[in-house]
Chain A
Amino acid sequence: MHELSIAMGIVEIADKEAVKAGVDKFSGIELVIGELSGVELASFDFAWQQAIKGTVLDGSKLEISRPPGKARCLDCGCDFNMVQVYDICPVCNSYFKDIISGKELRVKSLLID
Chain B
Amino acid sequence: MCVSCGCGGGHSHDHEHIDSHKIIDVEKDILHQNNLLAERNRGYFDAKEILCLNLVSSPGSGKTSLLEKTLTDLKDTLPFAVIEGDQQTTNDADRIHATGTKVSQINTGKGCHLDAHMVYHTLQGLKPESDSVLFIENVGNLVCPAMFDLGEKYRVVVMSVTEGDDKPLKYPDMFYSSHLCIINKIDLLPYVPFSIEKAKENARRVNPELEIIEVSSLTGEGMDLWYEWLKVKQQQTTTV
A residues contacting B by CB (< 8 A) are 1-2, 5-6, 9-10, 12-13, 17, 21, 27-28, 30-31, 38, 61, 63, 65, 84-86, 88, 95-96, 105-113
Partner of B28, one of A13, A61, A112, A113: A13
CB distance from A71 to the nearest CB of B (A): 12
> Top 9 closest A-B pairs, CB basis?
A2-B144, A85-B172, A95-B208, A112-B22, A86-B206, A111-B20, A107-B26, A110-B24, A38-B173
Is B232 an interface position by the 8 A CB rule? no
Of chain B, the residue at the smallest CB distance from A37 is B147
Partner of B26, one of A13, A88, A96: A13
Is B131 an interface position by the 8 A CB rule? no
Is B32 an interface position by the 8 A CB rule? yes
Query: Contacts A2-B147, A84-B172, A85-B176 hold; do A109 and B34 have CB atoms under 8 A apart?
Result: no
Query: How far is A38 from B142 in the complex, measured between Cα atoms in Å?
Result: 12
CB distance from B173 to the nearest CB of A (A): 5
Of chain B, the residue at the smallest CB distance from A85 is B172
Query: Contacts A2-B147, A85-B173 hold; do A12 and B3 have CB atoms under 8 A apart?
Result: no
Partner of A109, one of B23, B169, B202, B205: B23
Query: How far is A62 from B4 in the complex, measured between Cα atoms in Å?
Result: 13
Q: Is the CB of B20 within 8 A of A86?
A: no
Q: Is the CB of B204 within 8 A of A95?
A: yes
Partner of B25, one of A63, A86, A105, A109: A109
CB distance from A9 to the nearest CB of B (A): 5
A-B contact pairs, 21 of them (CB 8 A): A1-B144, A6-B147, A9-B31, A12-B33, A13-B28, A17-B24, A30-B18, A38-B146, A38-B173, A63-B18, A65-B4, A84-B172, A85-B173, A86-B176, A105-B29, A106-B29, A108-B3, A109-B25, A111-B22, A112-B21, A112-B24
Partner of A28, one of B18, B176, B206: B18
Contacts of B16 in A (CB 8 A): 63
Query: How far is A10 from B202 in the complex, measured between Cα atoms in Å?
Result: 34
Contacts of A17 in B (CB 8 A): 24, 26
Contacts of B33 in A (CB 8 A): 9, 12-13
Q: Is the CB of A13 within 8 A of B204?
A: no
Is B27 an interface position by the 8 A CB rule? yes
Is B112 an interface position by the 8 A CB rule? yes
Partner of A111, one of B23, B112, B202: B23
Contacts of B202 in A (CB 8 A): 86
Partner of B205, one of A5, A10, A95, A108: A95
CB distance from B108 to the nearest CB of A (A): 11
Query: Contacts A110-B24, A112-B22, A113-B20 hold; do A88 and B30 have CB atoms under 8 A apart?
Result: no
Contacts of B49 in A (CB 8 A): none
Is B148 an interface position by the 8 A CB rule? yes
Contacts of A38 in B (CB 8 A): 143, 146-147, 173
Q: Is the CB of A111 within 8 A of B28?
A: no
Contacts of B115 in A (CB 8 A): 5
Is B113 an interface position by the 8 A CB rule? yes
Query: Contacts A9-B30, A38-B147 hold; do A86 and B172 have CB atoms under 8 A apart?
Result: yes
Contacts of A109 in B (CB 8 A): 3, 23-27
